[in-house]
Amino acid sequence: MDNAAKGKHKLVDVGSEDEDEVDVLDRRDNTYEIDEDEGHESQGLLEGEIKTGSKRVRQSTLKASTSNIKLQSGSSPIDGSGSKSRTIPLPGSSPRHKTPPRRQLFPPNVVKNSKYNIITFLPLVLYEQFKFFFNLYFLLVALSQLVPALRIGFLITYILPLAFVLFVTLSKEAADDYTRHARDRAANSQLYTILDPLSSFLPDPADTHSIGNDDETDPVSPSHRMHPLPPIKPVPASKLKVGDLVMLSQNERVPADLVLLQTSDESGTCFVRTDQLDGETDWKLKVATERTQRMRAAELLAIRGHLWAEAPKKDIHDFKGSLILQGESTRLDILIDEACSPKKADDLTVPLNVENILWANTVLAAGTAIGLIVYTGKETRAVMNTSHPQTKVGLLDHEINSLAKILCAVTFALSLLLVALNGFRGWWYVYVFRFLILFSSIIPISLRVNLDMGKTVYASQIQRDPEIPETIVRTSTLPEELGRIEYLLSDKTGTLTQNEMDLKKLHMGTMSYGHDSMDEVTYQLSVAFGAGDLGNTGHGRKTSLTTGFALASRGRRDMSSRVKDVVLALALCHNVTPVKNDDGTAIYQASSPDEVAIVKWTESVGLRLVHRDRVTIKLEAPNKSLLCFEVLEIFPFTSESKRMGIVVRDLSSGEIMFYQKGADVVMAKIVQYNDWLEEECGNMAREGLRTLVMARKKLNEETWREFQRQYQAAKISLQDRNEVMAEVVRSHLERDLELLGVTGVEDKLQEDVKMTLELLRNAGIKVWMLTGDKIETATCIAISTKLVARNQYIHQVAKLRSSAEARDMLEFLQTKPDCCLVIDGESLQLCLQHFSTTFISITTQLPCVVACRCSPTQKADIALLIRSHTKKRVCCIGDGGNDVSMIQAADVGIGIVGKEGKQASLAADFSINQFSFLTKLLVWHGRNSYKRSAKLAQFVIHRGLIISIIQCTFSMIFYFSPIAIYQGWLMICFPTVYTMAPVFSLVMDTDINEDLALLYPELYKELTKGRSLSYKTFFRWTMVSVYQGGLIMILSLLLFQTDFINIVSISFTALILNELIMVALEVTTWHTYMVISELVSITIYAASIFLLPEYFDLNFVLTVDFVWKVALIVSVSAAPLWVYKLAKARWAPASYTKLRDH
């Protein structure tokens, strides 16, 4: 027995009335399962006869149904979701009476982007907060104050700051998740129309007159298909199940992955917008199966058979399935299409591919459509390509957390040392804990409060910047990360480009037309079609009746006819469809913006596309005549073939012509020998143009019939179908094609993209471009944006099939460290599977990497791999729904509000309007945020250290007693009322002005090294704190020996003044807020001396002796640091200082 048939097969319910023989399920449960052993019993069940009451399903019929299942199951192993391939019964195969569902086989169709629920909210948020040592330390200190023996000072001193921080965090998380829940509820409650098989209006399958009829007197027009109206029912999106028939209207979001059965367009086609799935703004053409398209909508409920679909997977560019129609039950009198493969006249197997399926989260652009749900919920392509958001924590926060651990160890060591010096007397272990609490200010909780307030200020400054209007900070905890970016991963379409195409050049060997000479093409085309026979053509020329026959007789074709040939080829060889708007105007829609640009160009020169369906193309010539062509066959573009072809018959002459267009690397091997194609394509590529080679071949009737016979046979091949079809095309059509010309299409870039990328490279940021587009397109954009330097070697990698090929490629890259790598998604996946570490280690050293045909998940994987391997900061920027996973996987995600909607913007940490805003966001705001927070964090730690050193010195002098020198209001007011405003003024400091930061982006490189906050700077601040704290305490005792009782007021006054002077020394540029905060703080402290008599003796404080001695202590404490700062600025200035003073 075939291995693919082992395990379990999901079989269609054949409508048995004998439930002892066949277990009947409700259709809403989709399928039932039959366990299958390796023996012959189950095989006999699959291939033998199944009794169904008064009916029998013939052995051949079931064989035809199951043979395809077994074959394709074998080629489609479990992928991604852990699910297997499935067989879904069609509506007419289910019983009309509803039976209780046995179990749910497929996931519910529920959208879930929220992170918490009522039960998990508090535990998860608290875990996220207290998994950091910094917060856990404060929690333990606060809890220790509940023990009377350990209580020191006011309990509120320890509880209130921590409670405030937690309240702010909980409130923010609750608000954010409530918004996510609201969006989820809106999406899940959106109503969709389904065809309800349980309705009493269900047509009788036995009534052959009520089902599709191809009689010429009863034409199947769109209006006929909609009447009589099918039984319908509104159902919320969350209640949709596999097997449901969903009716979609224009501009309606597709709720699940559907196989398209019918559209309102007579040709069976419809357009969908996929910008939120693959990032492309162009409409994609989808095709309904021909057999179901001919039916009326109500008749879809009566068809019998089943649909086989492969296992869920992430690839949005591929789908394999089969639609098996049991003709004996439907009795449709429609001719069997040669493209289908029936085993019997009453049993039809229709192959399905990606053109027949609508992915979830796409939008129906026009008309109405009916589809059968095959994947729901987490098994849809959209969900499988979306990663769940994680809470992001900045590198600065991690660095501060590491310093907090060091400070905690220092605190414990210091406490143990004091107890040891005292000889471990008495309850020494209680004294250890009391010392730990006394020194707890070494790790001040005010640090967390100050940093969070600083982040809020940075976010406000970013959002109020007039030069980057409408910029939104959605994650206020990450502004400092903007100053540490080393890798930028960017989407292409809509991010670097506007996705607006313009044909700039047409080259035909001996003739070349640029953008400014297209009027010459218009003139030549009008001459070729005889539009200029009346005299003036509108170009200021007189026409000639000698259009080239004389030249043709000498073996040469005239210029006009050559122009006509290439323009006609461009007007026919495409998949563009003109769509009429409500106001009567027509727009062009296609799966590629290149094709739309070319068709618009042919219209501008005089050859307009007026009608297109699956079988006909109509063009309006310059002389207003109508050219009609029958579409005989289309060979769509694929990333493998890199070309697109079409066979048409001119209905006026009967001439059959094969047109083909494609990439130069492919077409050069197909067209006749020439000496200019390669050179001209290279010239256009260097200009950043996307090249397209046009060729044709004339076919006679005999050749066409022979090709058609072999091609139809290849279509129904069950093994290697695509390869067999491609071989037939190569052998019959793609030989010695006549080369017509080459076009150069420009993809318009976003404003200031070239300048922005150059500035970011100068800032030391390595830029990767990740796109779902073709290799050729991505390479052109990389060149036109100057992402690739002039004369830089571009190494293209595509279609790697084995790990050996991937290894060889990586070995080659090691010898080309200065090249630009361009790699497709398939090869990228192979490298990531087998050599992920080697691949990332090599590619992260390259100056530029372009990854093409990337799925959303691959983009996210690359971001995560770079983060984990390099430990550097990664920024991802994009504008489409397909970029959300990448944005959420990055350290910093930036979304652009553009043509592809706001999905990326809403999921990002920062939202901007255009790519060029990135310059100021990183180089200016990123720089300020990082340097200010680094300085603020170290100063707050210094403020906690210095008061702890004073406490330590006091305890050592007074017999190692664990008694607080400063208690009550002094400890509460020191980090808040007395020093908070001046210290917080550091968040307004600037080391250089904005113009210098943008003029010298090289200064950004220094930030990525993390020197503003490092172990070196931390050690320097620790030494300053030890020096100043110890000096203040010792000098206070030496100078005031007779006034020992006033030691608190003496040392505390010196401490306050010292901190205010230190702020003035640390601020690079004095500003208004700093000066005012200093004056206000000293005023408040002076007033508090009168308000707190329990700490200050006014008779002592108001003496001259107190004033000059305090001034001396402060001078000795702060003056050496001022001298050091002047000396460093004179002999070892920072690089930015040299530029600022120049």
Q: Which residue has the higher pLDDT, 488 or 35?
A: 488
**Closest alpha carbon to 190 in 245, 244, 254:** 254
C-alpha torsion sign, points 578, 582, 585, 587 = negative
Distances in Å between the Cα of 610 and the Cα atoms of 274, 415, 536, 576, 699 are: 25, 88, 26, 11, 26
Beta bridge partners of 349: 324
Q: Are 61 and 344 in contact (CB under 8 A)?
A: yes
Q: Which residue has the higher pLDDT, 880 or 694?
A: 694
Residue located via tokens 């020439």: 674
952 in helix, strand or coil? Answer: helix
Six-digit token string for 899: 């043509």
The torsion angles phi and psi of 822, rounded to 5 degrees, stand at -120, 115
Strands (DSSP E) contained in 835-983 are 848-852, 873-878, 892-896, 910-912
pLDDT digits (tens, 9 = 90+) for 13-41: 333 333 333 333 333 333 333 333 333 33
Quick one: pLDDT at residue 665? 79
CA dist., res. 526 & res. 804, Å (int) = 56
- Cβ-in-10-Å burial (0-12, 13-18, 19+) of 182 comes to exposed
**Closest alpha carbon to 355 in 672, 676, 637:** 637
Quick one: pLDDT at residue 1114? 94
Six-digit token string for 349: 């197997």
Q: Are 953 and 1030 in contact (CB under 8 A)?
A: yes
pLDDT digits (tens, 9 = 90+) for 959-972: 888 888 888 888 88
Quick one: pLDDT at residue 773? 76
Catalytic residue numbers, as ranges:
491
Q: Are 258 and 371 in contact (CB under 8 A)?
A: yes
CA dist., res. 1111 & res. 1039, Å (int) = 12
CA dist., res. 492 & res. 851, Å (int) = 10
CA dist., res. 124 & res. 131, Å (int) = 10
CA dist., res. 895 & res. 912, Å (int) = 6
Quick one: pLDDT at residue 1022? 93
Q: Are 886 and 894 in contact (CB under 8 A)?
A: no
Q: Taking 50 as the threshold, does the pLDDT of residue 1 lie above it?
A: no
CA dist., res. 203 & res. 1025, Å (int) = 88
Q: Are 115 and 47 in contact (CB under 8 A)?
A: no
Using CA atoms of 1027, 1029, 1031, 1035 in order, give the dihedral in degrees to the nearest 10. Answer: 180
Q: What is the mean pLDDT of residues 380-387?
A: 82
Quick one: pLDDT at residue 1041? 65
Quick one: pLDDT at residue 823? 93
Q: Taking 90 as the threshold, does the pLDDT of residue 717 lie above it?
A: no
- Cβ-in-10-Å burial (0-12, 13-18, 19+) of 176 comes to middle
Quick one: pLDDT at residue 229? 61
Quick one: pLDDT at residue 20? 34
Q: Taking 90 as the threshold, does the pLDDT of residue 1111 lie above it?
A: yes
Give the pLDDT band (50/70/90) at residue 728.
confident
Q: Is the pTM of this model over 0.85?
A: no
Give the pLDDT band (50/70/90) at residue 1070.
confident
Type of residue numbered 940:
V
In 697-824, alpha helices (H): 701-715, 721-732, 753-762, 775-784, 803-814
Beta bridge partners of 796: 822
Distances in Å between the Cα of 734 and the Cα atoms of 633, 671, 697, 725 are: 14, 8, 8, 13
**Closest alpha carbon to 745 in 695, 684, 786, 667:** 684
Q: Which residue has the higher pLDDT, 557 or 640?
A: 640
pLDDT digits (tens, 9 = 90+) for 215-251: 333 333 444 444 456 778 899 999 999 988 999 998 8
CA dist., res. 636 & res. 714, Å (int) = 16
Counting residues of the chain whose pLDDT is more than 70, the rounded percentage is 82
* Order of all β-strands in the sheet with 910-912: 472-473, 910-912, 892-896, 873-878, 485-490, 766-770, 848-852, 820-824, 794-797
Mode of pairing for the β-strands spanning 257-263 and 820-824 = unpaired
Quick one: pLDDT at residue 222? 44
Q: Are 1040 and 1050 in contact (CB under 8 A)?
A: yes
Quick one: pLDDT at residue 282? 66
Quick one: pLDDT at residue 718? 63
Q: What is the mean pLDDT of residues 1030-1059?
A: 86
Give the pLDDT band (50/70/90) at residue 468.
very high
Residue located via tokens 């008061």: 947
When the pLDDT of each residue in the chain is averaged and rounded to a whole number, the result is 79
Q: What is the DSSP letter of 369?
A: E
